[in-house]
Amino acid sequence: MCLATSVVPFLALSCALYLLLGDSPLAVLLVIPAAAFLVRSFIVFHDCSHGSFFASRRVNVWLGRSIGLLLYSPFTRWRHDHAVHHASSGDLDRRGTGDVRMLTVSEYETLSPRGKLAYRLERNPLVMFGVGPLVALMIGPRIVAKNARPRMRRSVLLTDVAVAVMIGLLVWALGWRDYLVVVFLPALLAGSAGIWLFYVQHQFEDAYWDEGDNWTFTDAALRGSSFLKLPEVLRFCTGSIGYHHVHHLNSLIPNYNLRRAHDRTPALHEVPTLTLLDGLRATKLRLYDERRGRLVTFREAATPPAGGDILPAWPTTRS
């Protein structure tokens, strides 16, 4: 059922966009729903990486690889990096894999002027959600790390070849202009939405961050992963991934069961909850302030905290 409401409508809308584009410039508006269904297709890809979409591991792998071509992503490498993200989310000592880059105030203060400028640009919403998708879709997935294991190396290189062939055939069949409008533009919009989702799911004001032996998996899931309450149409388009606390607590729950798991578990109702407006406001946050125990803007980071602004330590869920 999820495939019939994700990949299938995305492909159908892409075909309709191509066929109607020559008759009416208004056909370009189909880019928006096409991007929405591509986001929903990404959630299927994401579930396949956890082995949760189908009971069969082999089917999950092959479906993940197939959808990965629509996303320009090497499935095996993405699955590995995302598993690292789940194992280290909320840990200040292990952040950096599968995350939107975030520095602490003290780390930022040690940067050179050029480094500070680069970080400011990187965290600027126009760059993050405008240039970011280009990097996330077209550049990052094409690069093989020097220390990559052979399996990861093959995943990247074989996907690079498949993506190059796919793009070549589409450009040959559609032409450059129609390829950019019909295929690449929806991917770009979907990429922007995806980066925003990754961002607000772990980088909201009071998100849990800790380090070393103080870090716990349960705290990271329940206090470091948001419950993003989206309007129903956006919840559908994002495959209920706004129930991110449920997903991080148990990544084997597929997207189509996340809402039910949340509703039937009262203990999950007390987690950090964000509205759509809260999620948009969270993009103003830039650094994690160890003194305040929360994410702050650059302006707040430059202002020493008053006594009442220093938050007490949160109780952990460890027994």
Could you list the residue range(s) of the whole structural domain that residue 195 is in?
Answer: 3-309
Distance in angstroms (rounded) separating the CA atoms of residues 269 and 262: 7
Q: What DSSP character marks residue 308? A: G
Query: Is residue 100 predicted with pLDDT exceeding 60?
Result: yes
DSSP β-ladder status, 227-229 and 294-296: unpaired
- In the predicted model, is pLDDT for residue 319 greater than 60? no
Residue 79 in any domain: the answer is: yes
Query: CA 179 → CA 121, 133, 136, 176, 242, distances in Å?
Result: 30, 17, 19, 5, 31
DSSP structural state of residue 317: S
Kindly tell me if the per-residue pLDDT of 137 is higher than 90: no
Q: Tell me if 317 is assigned to some domain.
A: no
Contacts of 95 (CB under 8 A, 6+ apart): 88, 102
Q: Which two tokens stand for residue 313?
A: 């330590």
Indicate whether 316 pLDDT > 60. no
315: in domain: no
Taking the C-alpha atoms of residue 67 and residue 203, their distance in angstroms, rounded to an integer, is: 27
302's tokens: 């430059």
Per-residue pLDDT band for 307 (boundaries 50, 70, 90) equals: low
* Mean pLDDT, range 14-41, rounded to an integer: 92
Q: Is residue 102 part of a domain?
A: yes
pTM of the model: 0.90
Q: Both ends of the chain: CA-CA distance in Å?
A: 41
Determine the length of the chain.
319
Q: Does some domain include residue 232? A: yes
Q: Can you spell out the DSSP letters for 51-92?
A: T-SSS-HHHHHHHHHHHHHHTT--HHHHHHHHHHHHHHTTBT
Question: Taking the CB of residue 168, how many other CB atoms lie within 10 A of it?
Answer: 10
| Per-residue tokens: 226 | 């948001």
Q: What mean pLDDT is reported for the chain?
A: 91
pLDDT bracket for residue 315 (50, 70, 90) = very low
Q: What's phi and psi for 210, nearest 5 deg?
A: -150, 180
How many structural domains comprise the chain?
1
pLDDT at residue 135 above 80?
yes
Is residue 316 domain-resident?
A: no
| Within a domain: 66 | yes
- Spatial CA neighbour of 37 closest among 253, 163, 193: 193
Res 308 pLDDT > 60: no
Specify the pLDDT at position 309. 58
Over residues 196-224, the mean pLDDT reads 92
pLDDT attached to residue 2 = 83
At 190, is the secondary structure helix, strand, or coil?
A: helix
Please give the order of strands across the beta sheet that includes 287-289.
103-104, 287-289, 294-296
Q: Is residue 41 part of a domain?
A: yes
- The first and second tokens of residue 134, run together, are 């280009």
For residues 273-295, give the mean pLDDT.
93
| Residue 273 φ/ψ, nearest 5 degrees | -115, 130
pLDDT computed for residue 181 by the predictor: 94
| Percent of the residues in the chain that have a pLDDT greater than 70, as a whole number | 96
